[in-house]
């Protein structure tokens, strides 16, 4: 499959592949931006995979092509992924109109955001109309994924304690909807109670700078309850925000933030390519450790070394 | 108080204050590094303030000078602080040998880490023997605070669900001890059960690259149970890691990571000072949004603009 091969090039950190990615993206950029981009997050155990399986199957049943990308910031620390792969969404992965791709790796959050964005653009150019970006929900990645999606869905468990799930501040400030999962059987009553209490919390802490009030829904991956309603909510958000202009305003702000992230990633690579800078850094690491110089003063020396390297290099 | 005034200079983002900070740090750098640096984290609601109040009071009762610094990454998003100020630790803040300082603000995680480190160095130079760095525990800040402390303490609630608290992976990988809070009254049984289950989880997922096995303890800010034990655990860790060399190895690795953070922060400021770069960025933001150029290609142009600005600037 050509899409998968192109993504492999995008995800590569080899210098040659980087050049190829830039050329590749240049060719497809005109065909991007037309999908609805949905972020889905929630703490481990909330049932993200089951939800995406049900929700994604509903989307493909409407005749739409869906791509699911996962972002796992923990791979930065552990060099391994919390999330599994497509075996987590077996039914969905068997559908020809659904494409599931695990997390691109990266040594920085910015690098992961950049690669996820590039992969998303490729999927859009390949005709995927709905993109889901799933994050593991431990707080690190939500901020960067906010720069990638139009609609942010926060999955929560009933009765697990507001404080533990960050309801009051933080993630909820970027969420367009809260979905309470596992609302089936004996748990329905809890889920409805949680819905009421979250609605009140959102009422007390309204988001600023937008006409949209975050909605709270309940769902069950088991009974499929709420799945269709969530999809309708998202399309109504897209309609409303397109009409009042916030959809475009949001994409513009994301565009500017992303350009900054791309630049910073590239700048980091540029600095590291100079041997003179590398050896000066090694020397200064030792001096800072021995308290012969402060890290601030050492950073200033490193900046001067970088400037000199650029001046001495090819004009 | 001179320390507070010095910290205000460090926290300032004004160019003149930055120069003054560097001079200030250069003067005190030889007198730093001698404290025991303790990181304390846990989700909101776990009882961090109450724990630090009890734990800090124990430390000062041993005749030691203690500084408590808080890091709140959410201020990056919300421009406001989840954490309150010293009113959260009323008893401790009244003690002459304790110093409590709220979170430095910063537009990046790196910037917050840098400023927190500088403030910590000032406290050390001012004679504080124990530094506590408290983070809000939503996942974003733990990784950068790991670069600042010798010993990382993770506070957890009994019975709140492992998954929700990130026990399996992530934060636990950086923790030297897990402390189960609110182990008093009817909750003692739950706390002990949680202790057993966390001990088993840590046994199944041992940390790599260190001789230290994370310990699990229970505590109560109410009855003060466990407080002295936690202090003894920390001192025994310091003794053991000093003897086997990991204390110094850890500080060295932190030193190198921090120098990189300081450099990146400075590099970001350096780029932004060029008007030619600023105006090129504005132009490219528009072109990327209109899909006339990919963000990758635009970032490359921005890098070339930065290079030119450096070459044309004072040699």
CB < 8 Å to B157, chain A: 164
Checking if the pLDDT of B208 tops 60, the result is: no
- Interface check for A248 against chain B (CB to CB < 8 A): the answer is no
- A18 exposure class (CB count in 10 Å sphere: 0-12, 13-18, 19+): middle
Q: What per-residue confidence (pLDDT) applies to B2? A: 84
Residue B101: both structure tokens together: 């300082």
* pLDDT (average), residues B108-119: 86
* pLDDT (average), residues A49-65: 95
Q: What per-residue confidence (pLDDT) applies to A141? A: 58
Residues 6 or more apart from B257 whose CB is under 8 A from it? B147
3-state secondary structure of B164: helix
Any alpha helices (H) in B36-151, and if so which ranges?
48-61, 75-78, 90-93, 109-125, 142-146
Greatest extent of chain A over all pairs of C-alpha atoms, in Å = 72
CB < 8 Å to A118, chain B: 296
**Are A291 and B32 in contact (CB < 8 Å)?**
yes
**Are B169 and A22 in contact (CB < 8 Å)?**
no
Q: Hey, where are the domains in chain B?
A: 2-244, 274-312
Checking if the pLDDT of B236 tops 70, the result is: yes
Q: What percent of chain B has pLDDT over 70?
A: 83
- Would the pTM of this model clear 0.90, i.e. be above it? no
Q: What per-residue confidence (pLDDT) applies to B10? A: 86
Checking if the pLDDT of A84 tops 80, the result is: no
d(CA B46, CA A304): 46
Residue B142: both structure tokens together: 């733990």
CB < 8 Å to B145, chain A: none
Q: What per-residue confidence (pLDDT) applies to B204? A: 64
Question: Predicted confidence band at A91 (pLDDT cuts at 50, 70, 90)?
Answer: confident
d(CA A295, CA B31): 14
**Are A78 and B169 in contact (CB < 8 Å)?**
yes
* pLDDT (average), residues A123-142: 82
Any alpha helices (H) in B174-294, and if so which ranges?
188-204, 227-244, 246-272, 275-289
The DSSP 8-state label assigned to residue A185 in this structure reads G
CB < 8 Å to A296, chain B: 21-22, 25-26, 118, 262
B175-205 pLDDT per residue, tens: 899 999 999 998 899 899 888 888 877 776 6
A175-205 pLDDT per residue, tens: 899 999 999 998 899 899 888 888 877 776 6
Q: What is the pLDDT of chain B when averaged over all its residues?
A: 85
The DSSP string of A237-267 is HHHHHHHHSHHHHHHHHHHHHHHHHHHHHHH
Q: What per-residue confidence (pLDDT) applies to B296? A: 95
* pLDDT (average), residues B60-69: 96
B160-177 pLDDT per residue, tens: 655 445 544 555 667 899
Substitution target from A15, A259, A268, A280 for chain B, most B beta carbons within 10 A:
A259
Q: What per-residue confidence (pLDDT) applies to B184? A: 92
Q: What per-residue confidence (pLDDT) applies to A41? A: 86
B163, B300, B306 member nearest A43 (Cβ) = B163
Question: Predicted confidence band at B77 (pLDDT cuts at 50, 70, 90)?
Answer: very low
CB < 8 Å to A74, chain B: 169-170
Q: What per-residue confidence (pLDDT) applies to A45? A: 77
The mean-pLDDT minimum among A185-189, A204-208, B289-293 falls in A204-208
CB < 8 Å to A281, chain B: 259-260, 263
**Looking at the DSSP assignment, which residues form a beta bridge with residue A99?**
A67
Q: What percent of chain A has pLDDT over 70?
A: 83
**Are A291 and B138 in contact (CB < 8 Å)?**
no
B143, B255, B268 member nearest A289 (Cβ) = B255
Q: What per-residue confidence (pLDDT) applies to B82? A: 42
A255, A306, A307 member nearest B288 (Cβ) = A255
- Interface check for B15 against chain A (CB to CB < 8 A): the answer is no
Question: Predicted confidence band at A145 (pLDDT cuts at 50, 70, 90)?
Answer: confident
**Are B298 and A262 in contact (CB < 8 Å)?**
yes
A30, A46, A76 member nearest B291 (Cβ) = A30
**Are A170 and B315 in contact (CB < 8 Å)?**
no
* pLDDT (average), residues A275-303: 97
Residues 6 or more apart from B289 whose CB is under 8 A from it? A251, A252, A255, A256
A226-258 pLDDT per residue, tens: 999 999 999 999 999 999 999 999 999 999 999
Substitution target from B295, B301, B304, B308 for chain A, most A beta carbons within 10 A:
B295
* pLDDT (average), residues B91-106: 81
Write the CA distances from B165 to A110, A134, B152, B211, B309, integer angstroms: 25, 19, 16, 25, 48
**Are B266 and A43 in contact (CB < 8 Å)?**
no
Q: How far is B95 from chain A (nearest CA, A)?
A: 30
The DSSP 8-state label assigned to residue B41 in this structure reads E
> Quick one: which H or E segment has residue A180?
strand A177-180
Checking if the pLDDT of B298 tops 90, the result is: yes
- Interface check for B253 against chain A (CB to CB < 8 A): the answer is no
The CATH number given to B2-244 is 3.40.50.300
Checking if the pLDDT of A207 tops 90, the result is: no
Cβ-Cβ pairs closer than 8 A, A with B, add up to 208
**Are B295 and A169 in contact (CB < 8 Å)?**
no
d(CA A215, CA A209): 16
Q: What per-residue confidence (pLDDT) applies to A76? A: 45
Q: What per-residue confidence (pLDDT) applies to A168? A: 46
- Interface check for A134 against chain B (CB to CB < 8 A): the answer is no
A16-39 pLDDT per residue, tens: 888 899 999 999 999 999 999 999
Chain B, 73 to 132: residues with Cβ < 8 Å from chain A are: 74, 76-78, 82, 114, 117-118, 121
Question: Predicted confidence band at B79 (pLDDT cuts at 50, 70, 90)?
Answer: very low
- Interface check for B314 against chain A (CB to CB < 8 A): the answer is no
Q: Which fold has domain A33-244?
A: Rossmann fold (3.40.50)
d(CA B160, CA B95): 34
Highest mean pLDDT among A72-76, B79-83, B267-271 belongs to B267-271
User: What interface predicted TM-score (ipTM) does this complex get?
Assistant: 0.89
Q: What per-residue confidence (pLDDT) applies to B234? A: 97
Question: Predicted confidence band at A108 (pLDDT cuts at 50, 70, 90)?
Answer: confident
Q: What per-residue confidence (pLDDT) applies to B248? A: 96
Q: What per-residue confidence (pLDDT) applies to A72? A: 67
The mean-pLDDT minimum among A65-69, B20-24, B133-137, B292-296 falls in B133-137
Q: How far is A61 from chain B (nearest CA, A)?
A: 31
CB < 8 Å to A173, chain B: 77-78
**Are B296 and A268 in contact (CB < 8 Å)?**
no
- Interface check for B21 against chain A (CB to CB < 8 A): the answer is yes
């Amino acid at each position: 499959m050509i899409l998968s091969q192109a993504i492999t090039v995008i995800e590569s950190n080899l210098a040659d592949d980087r050049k190829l990615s830039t050329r590749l993206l240049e060719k497809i950029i005109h065909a991007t931006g037309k999908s609805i981009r949905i972020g889905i997050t929630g703490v481990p155990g909330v049932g993200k995979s089951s939800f995406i399986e049900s929700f994604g199957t509903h989307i493909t049943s409407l005749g739409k092509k869906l791509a699911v990308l996962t972002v796992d910031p923990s791979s930065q620390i552990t060099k391994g992924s919390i999330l599994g792969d497509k075996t987590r969404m077996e039914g969905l992965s068997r559908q020809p109109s659904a494409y599931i791709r695990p997390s691109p790796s990266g040594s920085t959050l910015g690098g992961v955001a950049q690669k996820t964005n590039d992969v998303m653009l490729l999927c859009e150019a390949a005709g995927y109309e709905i993109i889901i970006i799933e994050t593991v929900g431990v707080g690190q990645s939500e901020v960067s994924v906010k720069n990638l999606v139009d609609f942010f869905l926060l999955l929560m468990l009933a009765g697990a304690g507001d404080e533990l799930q960050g309801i009051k501040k933080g993630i909820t400030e970027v969420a367009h909807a809260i979905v309470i999962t596992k609302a089936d059987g004996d748990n329905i009553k809890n889920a409805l109670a949680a819905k009421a209490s979250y609605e009140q919390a959102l009422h007390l802490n309204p988001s600023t700078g937008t006409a949209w009030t975050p909605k709270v829904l309940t769902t069950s991956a088991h009974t499929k309850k709420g799945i269709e309603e969530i999809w309708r909510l998202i399309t109504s958000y897209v309609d409303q925000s397109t009409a009042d202009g916030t959809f475009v305003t949001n994409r513009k702000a994301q565009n500017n933030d992303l350009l900054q992230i791309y630049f910073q990633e590239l700048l980091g690579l540029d600095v590291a390519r100079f041997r003179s800078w590398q050896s000066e850094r090694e020397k200064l690491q030792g001096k800072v450790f021995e308290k012969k110089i402060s890290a601030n003063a050492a950073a200033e020396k490193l900046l001067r070394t970088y400037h000199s390297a650029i001046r001495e290099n090819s004009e």
